[in-house]
Every structure is written in C-alpha cells, then in structure tokens.
Structure 1
Amino acid sequence: MDYKTAVKQIDKGQFAPVYVCYGSESYLIRELINRLTDKLALPEHKAFAVSRYDLTETPVEAVIEEAETLPFMVPNKVVVANNALFLTGAKENGKVEHKLDRLTDYLKTPVDFSIIVFTVDADKLDERKKIVKALKEANALIPCTALSADELAHWVNQEADKADISLAPGVAEQLILYTGTNLQALAQELEKCALYIGRGGTITSADLEQLVTRSIEQNIFQLIEHIVQVELDQAFTLLNELLRRKEEPIKIVMLIARQFRIMFQVKDLMQQGYSQQQIAGQIGLHPYGVKIAAGQAVKFELKRLAHILQQLGDLDYQMKSGKIDKVLGLEMFLLKLAS
C-alpha cells in the first residue's frame, strides 16, 4: 500500500490492523500515526489511546500482548513499535530475541480494537524473510521515502493550504531551495510564515528573504545559481554575507566543489539515459537536489565541469598551503567562473 492510499483510507475511517512504515522520511511516519490517533480518540483521551515500544529493548510478542489487551477508557488504541530492524537485512545486536511466529499468527486473526504500527528507518525491507512476505500479503507495508521533486513542491503548497495561507508563484520552490528537503524543517518554516502573514495572507519572495534563515549549504546553492545566471552583483553580495558571518573560505570552496561534483554526476548520468529519480538513488541525493543540479548543469559542458572541479582542487591546495589569500582566491575563482 502506498502512503497516499493509506492516508485516504484513514481519513475515511478505514483502518488496517497492522501498518509497517519504513523509510527515511520520519515526518511522514509521524503524520500517519497522528492521523490514526486523531481519528480514533478525542484529544483529551490520546494518552490512553497510544502505547509506544522500542523493539531494540522489547520483544515483539510483548507488543502483540499489548495489542490484545482491551483498551482503557477508549474504544480503540494504537500500539506503536519503533525500530523493527528484524524486518530488514541489518544485523541486530542480539539483545532482544523476537518470536516472529507470534506476529505471523496475529496477522491471521488480529483483534478489532487495536492497530499496530511498526516503524523502521530503512529504505528497503528484506523481502526474503518469511515475516516480511506475510506482512506484504497483508498489504501492511507503507514506504515513507523521500518525495520526488514535483511531489515535494506539491506537498509544500498543500501544507500552506492547511495553514490557510497562499504562496506566490515560485515561492514553494524558493522555500525548498532556502530550507532544504527535510519535511520537518519545511513545516516549521511554513508555520513561521503563517504566523507572520496571518490567515488568508500570501507569502511573497520578499517575505521569505526576511523570514527564512538559510544554512550555508543552501546559500552555496543560491551562490552557484547566481553565477549560472551571470548575476555577479548578487553572487558577490551573497559571498560577502557568508564571509561577514565568519564562514571559512576553505569550507565555502569545499561546498562549491561538492555542488559542482553533483552537477557533473547528474549531467553524466543523464547523458547515459538515467531519469532524475534513478540518479537520486544512484548517487544518494534527494530528488529535488538532482532537479536543481540538472538545471544548473545545463549551462555547462561535461568537460567544463571536470575542468572547474580541477580548478577547485588547485584552489583548495593553494589556500591550505598559503600560496594565495583565501578570500582573494575565492573571489578570483568566481570571476573566472562567471566569464
């Protein structure tokens, strides 16, 4: 079952007895659990409706026993069991022994007053395992992995709608560029925007400039974007701002090199026929980062990108060996790059 289908069913009051939420996007997992508890219990009864266990410390049979125990003061309850590493290929430390046959039997005859949610921070489960196959047959597996670039922008706009604010054209993409792709961080920035603009208001690009504090990584994205678009004034203004904030020039060079390395990899793989989604998996980057890198790499030939990486390597050596002033070397590199 995919995440969207699971959420739609929960919103309609249709619940599965067992869910397995796996993947690196912990925000989506928390959202699904919150939707379940919101549907099953009044706010004042939530403390009685949710039980939480850590499967690195508690055997799975104890989770099953909790699920089979009648709820107190509420008609239904949610049993959350985190760190279900026995569903993956990861090696467990052996501290807890799980009787997985107990879970297999439970899947055949689950109780109707409890919902079990297993969570595990892993992009893949080990489908060779008997228990994973049983959970798959029960349609309990829900991947909570990174959203695609288009899905991420759509998600930002959806969250803005929930907060009763609007985003001016291009602002969703600008927010992602400034904040990064972490859903929790994006949700917090949207909450800040909603408090600033008020219900029914519209957040503009200028508002974001005031409200969002960019990390150095996001500033490097923006710095390179200015260079690609031959916006030298903005590029040097941003560089001076980074230096004013006492960012180390060698660190700036390292991050610029990282972004150009990504651009090189993305362009090379795209020329080989890979899709952006496939490239994201290949190089271990969020799909939105691949989309940004692909757009920036359009302005460069592959040989040019390789030459720039060589220049950055030389600049790094000259800075560290004291053969050039760090700030001067960085400024000269940006001027050469723009020309």
Structure 2
Amino acid sequence: MDAKTALQQIRKGQVSPIYLCYGTEKYQIQQFITLLTEHVTQEEHRDFGIVPFDLSETPIEAVVEEAETIPFLVPKKLILVKDSSVFTSGRDQNKIDHQLDRLLAYMDNPTEYSVIVFIVEGEKLDERKKVVKSMKNAGTVLSFMPLSGEQLVEWVTHQAEKRGCKLAAGAADALIRNAGTQLQTLSAELDKLALYAGQGGIIDVEIVDILVARSTEQNVFVMIEEIANLRLEKALNLYYDLLKQREEPIKIAALISRQFRIMLQVKELGQQSYSQQQIASQIGIHPYAVKIAGEQARKFDTGRLRRILADLGELDYQMKTGAIEKVLGLELFLLKLGA
C-alpha cells in the first residue's frame, strides 16, 4: 500500500491497526500522523488517547502491552513509536533486548481499540528481518521519500491553491530555487506568499524573489545558473551580494565546487541511463536538485566540467596558502568561467 491509498482509506474511516512509516520526508510523515490523529482520537481525548514511545529507551514488548491494555476514559488509543533499529539495519546503542515475537503475535491478532504507528526516519528498512517481512505482508508499510522534480512543482502548486492563491508561470520553480526542497520550509513560505497575495491573488516570480530570501547555497545555485546562461553580470552581482553578507570566499568556492561536482555526476549517471530518482539516491541529493543540475550540465561538456573542477581545486589551494587574494581570486575565476 502506498501513502496516498492509506490516506484515502483513513478519510473513509478504514484505519489499519498497525502502520510502519519510513522515509526522509519528515513533513509528509507528520502530515500523515496529523490526519490519522484527527480520525482516531477526538481533540478532547488526546491527553489520554495519544501514547508516545521511543524504542531506543523502551522494549517493544512494552508497546505491545500498551496496545493490549484497554483505554482509560477514551474509546481508542493512538500509539506513536519512534524506531531506529528494530526495522532497520541500525544498531541500538542502548542494547535493549526487544522481544519481537510479542509484536509478531500481536500482528496476528491486534486489538480494535489501539492503532500503532512505527516511525522510521531513514531511507531503507532491513528486508532480511522477519518483522519487516511480516509488516509488508500485512500491507501497512508506507514510504515517504522525496518527491520527484515534477511532483515537487505539482505539490507547491496544489498547496498554493489550497491557500486560495494561484502561482503564475515559473513561480513554483522560483520558490523552490529560493527556499530549497524541504516541504516544511516551502509550506511556511507559501503561507507568507498567500498572506501577501490575498484570497484569489496571483503569486508571480517577482513576488517570490522579493519575499523569499535565498540561503547562501541557493544563491550559489542561482549564480551558476546565470553563468550557464551566459549572464555574467547577474552572476557577479550575486557574488558581490554574498560578500556584503560577509560570506567567506572560500566557503563560496566550496559551494561552487559542490554544484559542479553534482553536475558532473548527474551528467555521467544520466549517460548510463540512470533515472532521476536513481541518481538522487546514488549521490544523496533531492530529485529536484538532480533535475536542475541536469539542465545546467547540458550547457557544459564532460571535459569542461572536469577542467572547471580542477581549476576550482587549484583556486582553493591558492586561496588557503595566500598565493592569491581570496576575493579577487574567486572574482577572476568567475570572469574566466563566464568567458
């Protein structure tokens, strides 16, 4: 079962007794838990109806005992269990001996008055473990992984519509490029933009650029985009703005190196027919960043990307040894790159 199907079932009142939520998208996991909470417990019952556990501190049998205990003053309980070792290949630093047979037995005969949600903030489950296989057979394992580039744009567009606004052409991409790919951050920025635009208002690229501040990393990202499109003056203006913000030239150079390294990796993996999601998993970045890096990489051949990285390595050495003044050295590099 996927998360979308699980949400549809919950809205229809079809709640499973056990869920296993895993993935790196904490915001989506929290949204799922919020919706589940609304359907399982009434607001006035939540002091007694929601029970948290952490398996790094508590054995699994204590969770099962809580699930089997009849609720006090509430019709149903929601048991939220944070895990980092039972369902993954990670090790329990506190070396708690979890009696997993108790959980397996409970899965065969769960109570009607308890809903258990196991929360694993990691990319993978340990498929070799019997408890993971049993949970998958029960059909309640939900994956919350980063959205693809297209899905992220659709998510931003939909969230704006939910707030009573519309995004003009290019505004969704502008927001993601300015704010990054974290859903929690994007949601907060959309709240601000919707408040500014008003009910039924339109949010365009100009409004996004005015209201959504870019981080240093995002500024470097845009700087390289300007260079790739031969807009050297805009790229240099971004560099000067970073200097006014007292950003260290060595740090800026390191971020530039990182982006060009990603571009090279995306280009090479793309030539090997890797998908966007596979590339993202392989090099450990968000799929949207893969999409944009791929677009940037098309402006450079593989040989030039390698030469740029070699030049950046030499520049880093010169800046750190004092062979060249840092601000001037990076400015000259940008001029050379733009040429």
User: Which category describes the TM-score, using the shorter chain as reference length?
Assistant: over 0.9
Shift of 1:102: 0.8
C-alpha change, 1:48 and 1:169, in structure 2 (3 Å) is: farther
Count of residues paired in the alignment: 339
Distance 1:129 1:74 in 2: 35
> Take 2:187 and 2:236, find their aligned partners in 1: how far apart are those partners?
31
Tell me the equivalent position of 2:27. Answer: 27
* Aligned residue number for residue 38 of structure 2: 38
SS in 1 for 2:21: strand
**Cα distance in 2, alignment partners of residues 285 and 260 from structure 1:** 14
Separation of aligned partners in 2, 1:84 and 1:135? 16
Query: If the length of structure 2 is used for normalisation, what is the TM-score?
Result: 0.96
Separation in 1, partners of 2:44, 2:303: 63
Q: Please give the residue correspondences for 1:46-195 in structure 2 after superposition, counting only pairs within 5 Å.
A: 46-195=46-195
Q: Distance in 2 between matches of 1:93 and 1:243?
A: 44
Equivalent residue for 2:271?
A: 271
1:19·1:116 contact (CA, 8 Å) conserved in 2?
Answer: yes
Match of 1:213?
Answer: 213
Counterpart position of 2:288: 288
Where structure 1 has 5 or more consecutive residues not aligned to the other structure, the ranges are: none
Conserved in 1, the CA contact under 8 Å of 2:174 and 2:209? no
Q: Could you report, residue by residue, the CA deviation over 1:68-113 in whole angstroms, capped at 9, with x for unpaired residues?
A: 2223343222110012521111122244221111111111111112
Matches of 1:15 and 1:96, distance apart in 2:
30
Deviation of 1:187 after TM superposition, in Å, equals 1.2
Aligned equivalents of 2:74 and 2:207: distance in 1? 45
Alpha-carbon separation, structure 2, partners of 1:199 and 1:63:
46
2:242 maps to what in 1? 242
Cα distance in 1 for residues equivalent to 2:78 and 2:164: 30
Deviation at 1:196, TM superposition (A): 2.2
Superimposed CA distance per residue, residues 134-168 of structure 1 (whole angstroms, 9 cap, x where no aligned partner): 11111121111111111111111222222222211
Instruction: Mark the runs of 5 or more structure 2 residues left unpaired by the alignment.
Output: none
One-letter amino acid matched to 1:101: D
Give the letter for the 2:284 counterpart: G
Counterpart AA for 1:37: T
Q: How much does 1:324 deviate?
A: 1.7
Tell me which amino acid in the other structure corresponds to 1:189: E
Could you tell which deviates more after superposition, 85-94 or 224-233? 85-94
Higher mean alpha-carbon deviation, 20-29 vs 82-91, is at 82-91
Q: Distance in 2 between matches of 1:293 and 1:327?
A: 26
Secondary structure class of the residue paired with 2:323: coil
User: With structure 1 as the length reference, what TM-score do the two structures score?
Assistant: 0.96
Q: Aligned partner of 2:329: which letter?
A: G
- Aligned AA (2:253): V
Paired AA for residue 126 in structure 2? D
Q: SS state of the match for residue 86, structure 2?
A: helix
Identical positions, percent = 52
Cα pair 2:156 2:172 within 8 Å, conserved: yes
